[in-house]
Amino acid sequence: MLRSLLLVSLAAALALLSGCATNREPDPLWVEAEVSAPSQRVLGTLVENALLRQNFAIGLGMDPAALKATSQWHTVLQPFSGMGYRERAEVSWRPLEGDQRWLVQVRVQKQENQAIANPTDPRYAEWEWVPDDVDAARELLMRIRSTLGSELELRSESARSLR
């Protein structure tokens, strides 16, 4: 009796630990580009505007002294488990050698809602980490670059034919 209780407890502990291990934040996937901007202040304002245009509310996440911005979570709930998600953008920039040159790095973290009961109610959401949304990060970086008038990179064949 005691042995079977111990085995059941051990199995439950292992299941709990394996569930926690899969819900760790994944390694960050940054996209980056060099841009020209007249000043840190102008670049910070453009980053803030690009975040807002892509539905990333900033709140208190803008830190011009640290040269970075972190948005609040943008949540999209769906009626099916695993379909709802939330994303948060991080942008950092640092000066480079040369006149008015900056390295801008962007990351978009993502979590999916695995709640089976009430998946459209944020109070019952069960957020699990998934890999960063690299496409959303590229889009945000392109918004920043296009506002500064930097040359855009077009990757698809149909887009190349438009040049």
Cα gap 49→69, rounded to integer Å: 11
Cα gap 64→51, rounded to integer Å: 14
Structural domain for 89, as ranges = 26-150
Cα gap 93→141, rounded to integer Å: 11
Average pLDDT, the chain: 83
Residue 2 lies in a domain: no
Domain count for the chain:
1
User: What is the CATH number for 137?
Assistant: 3.30.530.50
Q: What is the pLDDT of residues 6-57, one digit of tens each?
A: 444 555 554 444 444 458 999 999 999 999 999 999 999 999 999 999 999 9
Residue 16 lies in a domain: no
Please compute the mean of the pLDDT values over residues 93-117 and round it to a whole number. 94
pLDDT of residue 9: 55
Q: How far is CA 122 from CA 6, 65, 78, 145, in A?
A: 37, 33, 10, 34
Please compute the mean of the pLDDT values over residues 60-75 and round it to a whole number. 93
- pLDDT at residue 114 greater than cutoff 60: yes
